[in-house]
Structure 1
Amino acid sequence: MPLLAPVLPPGYRSRPATADDIGTIHTLVAACERALYGRVQTDAGAVAAVFARPGLVPESDTVLVHDRCGRPAAWAWEDRRSEVDVHPDHRGRGLGAALLDWAGDRGLQAGREGIVQTVPDGDVGAVALLRSRGYAPLVTAWLLEYSMPDEPVVPAPPSGIVVRPLRPGDEPATHVLVMDAFDEWQERRQSYAEWAKHIIDRPTFAPALSPLAFDDGQLVGAALSLDLPERDEGYIEQVAVRHDHRGLGIARLLLCHTFLAFYRAGRRSCTLWTHSDTGALDLYLKVGMTVRHSSTVFRIDLRSQGASPADR
């Protein structure tokens, strides 16, 4: 199958990205986040996790764009999901539209029924572009923040529940717990290897800041944290409680343990993402978290598109 290349504005060239480009791509993404949020929100491990997606083939499913001086200007990937990032210095020149069309064409070529892309609601230009290409809102996501001017108080655990940090050897059971808990809304179940690449194999994973809850020796809850070097706050990547132990206060207990651990590590705020499919927003708000900003997950039905707007 021939490789698809985006139709770029004059002065730009593209090639597939490789794992050797992870640092370059993270620098590009960080520039986008600084321009939009005033701070960096991801680490290089988040980019590496894209390359670990089991269905993604970098040679056909990624694009890295350089300007005429060889500087990275944008990048995109597509594998049922898609992401397009354009460096702030290169916005307004048609790169976003070109890469969005490439993602749609690549999805069609790969036989996808549709693809989704998450866009910050504050990026009004990107939101308008997706809507103009036929993308429709699917899910709302929120970045929640917990401010800690004072040391957080940890509530007493429910009867029989013991909480301790993650230790070597806990990883396989934690993977099963998280996948079981997320089965009701996630698009697919991640293998251990893929999940590990997203979480525990990242250099920023912080096991000492990742409490687990046990009931009679059985793992029933987990809060998995990252200690991101470019952020002055804590970050919780995943929170999961076993179905038969929900409604007992275990999630709140794990969150408070995590807040306290980050506070004692010198952080004065802690954040996490959730989205409307999880039904967890009310829980986080009741704990005292507030919404910092939101994003929308958009989806396009490729079967109804047939070809990118540039081809029609």
Structure 2
Amino acid sequence: MAVHELPDGLASRPLVPDDAQAVFELVAAQELADVGEVLIEAADLVADWGRPAFDLASSALGVTDGDRLVGYVEVNRHERGVAAVHPHSRGRGIGTWLAHRMQELARARGWRRVGVPVPEGSPGDRLLTGLGYRVRWTSWVLELPAGRSIAKRPLPEGYAVRAAREIEHRACWTVLEDAFLEWSDRAREPFDDFAVDVLRRPGFEPWQLRVVADPADAVVAAAVLHVNDESGYVDRLATRRDQRGRGLAQCLLADTFREARAHGTSRSELSTDSRTGALDLYEKVGMEVTSTWVSRAVEL
């Protein structure tokens, strides 16, 4: 069997929106096997695939064994791919096939490289290492243990933390994008993509977009919270550059976790990576690393 071919009995096809649940279950099974917990939510796929800038038909492929999805790959945001193989189907050459398909999909977009996040030391990490993928950065998933809270830090006089108002949605997008673009090598995310990813995400409620407002009532920090049955996950958190060093991020983080717990969650989580330099901050406020991931990339 040539390295770029699927083994007998397996087939591939483009994915369609109705595949979202099957892909969710596939990725969840891989995460459970590799890190001991499920991090993905079905809403992640619905929101990500619903972005105006994303074309599922030309961006993703599934591998099937009969009528069962056993592998999938997609390229979505700038120079970033995602791939998964069901743990019961490992050792059949599916991962290698997916890695090569990811490169082809990325080349078709004119990308210079493509990277994929994998749990450190996992089968996927070892496979990509053998295929010449190098580590670009390390990321960590952190949790605030049950029963622990982040110490309150007073806001500067005249500042307030609260839910964002509808009229402030673009201001939140601006604060978040400006901050993330300081260290990420990508184009600015369109507001329409932000709206689908955050504001129209399945299950989103207005209280889940939190802000710090200055004495003039302008948004100077923002956080996006995702909530499922038991977990409140801070997906994005940023402070405007000229407002840093005042403790706004810590206040906002504490507020966000309190709000999540007030709405019935028992776990408080977020992730960060080595590009941001924020790991020490989160550990100092009592959060603990639960899994470590690496972004492995290959030049095209």
- Give the TM-score normalised by the residue count of structure 1: 0.87
1:49-96 deviation per Cα after TM superposition (whole angstroms, max 9, x unaligned) = 44245654333321011102x111111012421111111121111111
Trace 1:44-59 onto structure 2 (pairs within 5 A).
Answer: 44-52=42-50, 56-59=54-57
Stretches of structure 2 that go unaligned for 5 or more consecutive residues are none
Trace 1:7-18 onto structure 2 (pairs within 5 A).
Answer: 7-18=5-16
1-side partners of 2:178 and 2:192: how far apart?
16
Q: Which residue in the other structure is 2:82 paired with? A: 83
TM superposition shift of 1:172? 1.5
- Helix, strand or coil for the counterpart of 2:167? coil
1:173-228 deviation per Cα after TM superposition (whole angstroms, max 9, x unaligned) = 11111111111112221001112222221113343244210002110011210112
Q: Which amino acid aligns with 1:167?
A: R
- Helix, strand or coil for the counterpart of 1:169? helix
**Is the counterpart of residue 114 in structure 1 residue 120 in structure 2?**
no
Q: Which amino acid aligns with 1:104?
A: Q
- Go from structure 1 to structure 2 and tell me whether the alpha carbon gap of 1:249 and 1:151 turns closer, same or farther (over 3 Å shift): closer
Q: Which residue in the other structure is 1:71 paired with? A: 68
Q: Which amino acid aligns with 1:225?
A: L
2-side partners of 1:141 and 1:46: how far apart?
18
In the comparison of the two structures, how many residue pairs are matched?
A: 293
**Is the counterpart of residue 228 in structure 1 residue 228 in structure 2?**
yes
Kept in 1, the 8 Å contact 2:149–2:254? The answer is: no
- Go from structure 1 to structure 2 and tell me whether the alpha carbon gap of 1:106 and 1:153 turns closer, same or farther (over 3 Å shift): closer
- Helix, strand or coil for the counterpart of 1:199? helix
TM superposition shift of 1:167? 3.1
1-side partners of 2:213 and 2:82: how far apart?
37
Q: Which residue in the other structure is 2:93 paired with? A: 94
- The CA RMSD measured in Å over matched residues stands at 1.9
Q: Which amino acid aligns with 1:212?
A: V
TM superposition shift of 1:270? 0.6
1-side partners of 2:106 and 2:182: how far apart?
25
**Is the counterpart of residue 188 in structure 1 residue 183 in structure 2?**
no
Q: Which amino acid aligns with 1:222?
A: A
Kept in 1, the 8 Å contact 2:150–2:285? The answer is: no
1-side partners of 2:149 and 2:54: how far apart?
43
Q: Which amino acid aligns with 1:102?
A: R
**Is the counterpart of residue 267 in structure 1 residue 281 in structure 2?**
no
Give the share of equivalent positions with the same residue, in percent: 33
- Go from structure 1 to structure 2 and tell me whether the alpha carbon gap of 1:153 and 1:210 turns closer, same or farther (over 3 Å shift): farther
Trace 1:199-214 onto structure 2 (pairs within 5 A).
Answer: 199-214=198-213
Stretches of structure 1 that go unaligned for 5 or more consecutive residues are 1-5, 303-312
- Go from structure 1 to structure 2 and tell me whether the alpha carbon gap of 1:196 and 1:7 turns closer, same or farther (over 3 Å shift): farther
TM superposition shift of 1:35? 2.1
1:134-187 deviation per Cα after TM superposition (whole angstroms, max 9, x unaligned) = 110011111011124156553321222111112333322111111111111122
Q: Which residue in the other structure is 2:278 paired with? A: 280
- Go from structure 1 to structure 2 and tell me whether the alpha carbon gap of 1:297 and 1:151 turns closer, same or farther (over 3 Å shift): closer
- Go from structure 1 to structure 2 and tell me whether the alpha carbon gap of 1:209 and 1:233 turns closer, same or farther (over 3 Å shift): same
- Helix, strand or coil for the counterpart of 2:98? helix
Kept in 2, the 8 Å contact 1:213–1:220? The answer is: yes
Q: Which amino acid aligns with 2:87?
A: P
Kept in 2, the 8 Å contact 1:206–1:226? The answer is: no
2-side partners of 1:239 and 1:62: how far apart?
29
